[in-house]
Amino acid sequence: MKKEKSTLIEHYRNRKLVKASDIIILSIILILIISFIFILPRHKGGSKVEVYENGKLIHSVSLHKDQVIKIEGKLDIHIEKGFVYIKNSTCPDKLCQKHKINKVGGQLICLPNKIIVKIVGNAKVDVISR
Amino acid sequence: MKTKKVALSAMFLSLALILGVIENYFPPILPMFPYLRLGLGNIVILLSILLVGKWPALLIVSLKAVLPAVFVGRPTMIMYALPASLVSYCLSLILVNLRVTSLVTISGVSAILHNITQILVASILVKDFSLFKYLSYLILLGAITGYISGLIVHFSLKYIPRQLTSNVITDDLDAKEG
């Protein structure tokens, strides 16, 4: 026993890089990672979509409930699976229809209609500062 | 013989500290976790467990976590660094003595545990557990960095000349332990 103990270094020096036990542990780790990706919620509720017209807040709805907000004569705001986008805008350039937003801080701005759509959240921790 | 061990331990500690400084020049892997580093110090800790024994290695681990905070003058860094280091040290010590897994696996697993402990401590400190939604990324990053440094340990152990790891050191260790 004592003899064996004195060769701890030799044991690892002579050991093969990969054995069955290593493969088993690696696959357990991979399974854990994949299952955590599915188990843990991507968005921790509470994020809201706010719609401003002429700088005034006219709608404040949940990001996680799919719906369509129609603003008469101007545009439709679609909320779908955590994404927000604009359709049927009456503005000439249609720039506001070019992209989708899904994160806190994201904004859709339609200048001709003076509409701003924002995603706001209550994330308490953005960064742990040093 | 004891002198040799003391000198070797001091060398390992300084090596670990230097690696920690070098690590600081790399940008953070994930922007939301500025404390998350490559974990190059892990290499030295695993090597020191094997080459100078568990008690000197424990000292090296603790000092590696405490000294940078003292140098920079931010005592809060200790609260993030020390628990995680100690937990992952214990795990790798147990696994090394079990002799079931390779050094690469040991390094990977202890890096994962290090990350999880760190995020646990951070969550307790800020009293907000929403950080845990990044758990899968933390495990993934810990696995990648840990496995890479484990490979480095594996190959450096293979090519360290035998005179350095000769029975002189380990026999001395055995005499002390037994």
Alpha-carbon distance A16 to B136, whole Å? Answer: 29
A6 touches chain B (CB under 8 A): yes
Nearest by CB to B139, which of A5, A29, A41? A29
Note the ipTM here. 0.72
B43 touches chain A (CB under 8 A): no
The reported pLDDT for the residue numbered A46 is 59
Instruction: Check whether A115 has a pLDDT greater than 90.
Output: no
A12 touches chain B (CB under 8 A): yes
Give every CB contact of residue A28 below 8 A, 6+ residues apart in sequence. Answer: none
Q: Greater confidence, B151 or B42?
A: B151
Angstrom CA distances, B110 to A23, A118, B70, B88, B150, stand at 16, 42, 25, 5, 10
pLDDT digits (tens, 9 = 90+) for A75-99: 888 888 878 888 888 888 777 787 7
The chain-wide mean pLDDT, for chain A, equals 77
The reported pLDDT for the residue numbered A71 is 83
CB contact under 8 A, B109 and A44: no
CB contact under 8 A, A123 and B158: no
pLDDT digits (tens, 9 = 90+) for B25-66: 877 666 666 666 777 888 888 988 888 888 999 999 999 989
Residue A53, min C-alpha distance to chain B (Å)? 33
Chain B residues in contact with A29 (beta carbon < 8 A)? 108-109, 112, 139, 143
